[in-house]
Amino acid sequence: MSALPPLRRLATAVLVLTLPLLTSHCSKKSQQISTVQGLTSDQQEKFQALNEPWPDQKPRPPEQVPEDRLEALGDLALKNRNFENSLINYLQILQEHPERYDLHYKVGVLFLLSGKLEPAQKELALVLVHRPEMLQAHEAMGLVHLQGKNYPLAIDEFQYVLAQDPKRGKTQHLLGVTFLESGRPDHAIPALKMAIRVDPRQLSSYIALAQAYLQQKNYPQAVASLKQAQTLAPQDQKVNQLLGRALASQKQYPQALEAFLKAGDEAQAYNNIGVFYFMDGRYEEAAKCFQRALELRPTFYQEAKTNLQRALEKMQEPRKDGS
């Protein structure tokens, strides 16, 4: 290998000598974090922290919501009929505190309101094992039995509650409704009257009382109960429908039609009064009412069309006999 010229040897020597210095200087710079002019020491420290590598840390677990907050959220969701969210909040608490039978009661009520009778019954039974004195749990259990049409057990629960507190108007009402649905209007009437005495503004008790009188065919008393209901809710559809029935059953057809019309469906009102005319043998008046119902709803009212045909056939029967 030939020797390097003198100038090249000199340049190579300088490069060899300066390279370690340059490497050392660059290495130091690479270890330093750049600074930004004009920052305070606190700001500079935070800026440097942003440039530092992140440590290997596990994510923090989500903060646990306090139990009283969970329960409040559950109650609010229940009030707004958001049953799913309400149930989730209550069950979170019960995971840690299964002895909270007040919450088991609320869960049972949630299942009841959702139409899930079997889980509702299980939750409420658990409550009553540990808190047999809890009247609202007995009342809720009675409702489970009522919805399941197990009337004797429902009656037992409501009567138990009333034996402890006779002035519970809601329970009196539920007892009356249970007797009514089980076909015992004679037992329903005293319970519903008591419910009205306890709470004179409970519309549903007046309606149920009228239905009990209608079952007994005691139309004047049914009308009286429904007139009282009208003072609370003059435009209530069910009140006016029942009032129309009670008046028509006494052959007070103009007043009955007026009540049916207040129920809000004019075509249905004429069909309804037509049915009572038909049952009374007044086929011509019935046919006119059915025809009016069809005029009001010509395309969709098959019921009135069928009734009209029957009334016209009845009107023709005397002519077939030659009279």
Report yes or no on 193 lying in a domain. Answer: no
What is the spatial distance between Cα 84 and Cα 128, in angstroms, rounded to a whole number?
A: 24
Report yes or no on 96 lying in a domain. Answer: yes
Q: Show the CA angle centred on residue 292, arms to residues 288 and 293, nearest 5°.
A: 120
Closest by Cα among 243, 310, 252, 305 to 281: 310
Give the pLDDT of residue 63: 62
Q: Is 296 exposed, middle or buried (0-12, 13-18, 19+ CB in 10 A)?
A: middle
| CB within 8 Å of 12: residues ≥ 6 apart | 4
What pLDDT band is residue 26 in, cutting at 50, 70 and 90?
very low
**Which residue's entry shows tokens 């019960």?**
94
What is the spatial distance between Cα 212 and Cα 185, in angstroms, rounded to a whole number?
A: 5
What is the spatial distance between Cα 226 and Cα 21, in angstroms, rounded to a whole number?
A: 106
Residue 57 predicted with pLDDT over 80 = no
Question: Residue 259: what are its φ and ψ, rounded to 5°?
Answer: -65, -45
Using DSSP, state whether 244 is helix, strand or coil: helix
Give the pLDDT of residue 264: 83
Report yes or no on 92 lying in a domain. Answer: yes
Give the pLDDT of residue 114: 93
Q: Which two tokens stand for residue 221?
A: 């008393």
Give the pLDDT of residue 55: 53
Give the pLDDT of residue 310: 79
Q: How many CB atoms lie within 10 A of CB 302?
A: 10
Mean predicted lDDT score pLDDT of the chain: 84
Closest by Cα among 148, 159, 203 to 181: 148
| CB within 8 Å of 123: residues ≥ 6 apart | 104, 105, 107, 108, 111
Report yes or no on 101 lying in a domain. Answer: yes
What is the spatial distance between Cα 184 and Cα 277, in angstroms, rounded to a whole number?
A: 29
Q: What is the CATH number of the domain that holds 127?
A: 1.25.40.10
What pLDDT band is residue 219 in, cutting at 50, 70 and 90?
very high
Query: Which run of H or E residues covers position 313?
Result: helix 302-320
Say which range, 60-69, 191-200, 217-226, has the weakest mean pLDDT.
Answer: 60-69
pLDDT digit string, tens, across residues 91-102: 999 999 999 999
What is the spatial distance between Cα 190 and Cα 205, in angstroms, rounded to a whole number?
A: 11
Position 100, amino acid: R
As for how many domains the chain has, the answer is: 1
Position 311, amino acid: A
Report yes or no on 175 lying in a domain. Answer: no
pLDDT digit string, tens, across residues 155-168: 999 999 999 999 99
pTM, to two decimals = 0.73
Q: Which two tokens stand for residue 164?
A: 């402890």
CA distances to 43, 53, 104, 209 from 180, in Å: 78, 76, 30, 9
Report yes or no on 252 lying in a domain. Answer: no
Give the pLDDT of residue 56: 55
Report yes or no on 95 lying in a domain. Answer: yes
Q: Phi-psi region for residue 35, left (φ > 0), alpha (ψ -120 to 50) or beta? A: beta
Residue 101 belongs to domain spanning: 66-161
What pLDDT band is residue 111 in, cutting at 50, 70 and 90?
very high
CA distances to 159, 180, 201, 221, 316 from 212, in Å: 19, 6, 18, 10, 38
Report yes or no on 248 lying in a domain. Answer: no
What is the spatial distance between Cα 9 and Cα 24, in angstroms, rounded to a whole number?
A: 24
Give the pLDDT of residue 10: 40
pLDDT digit string, tens, across residues 30-47: 444 445 455 456 655 654
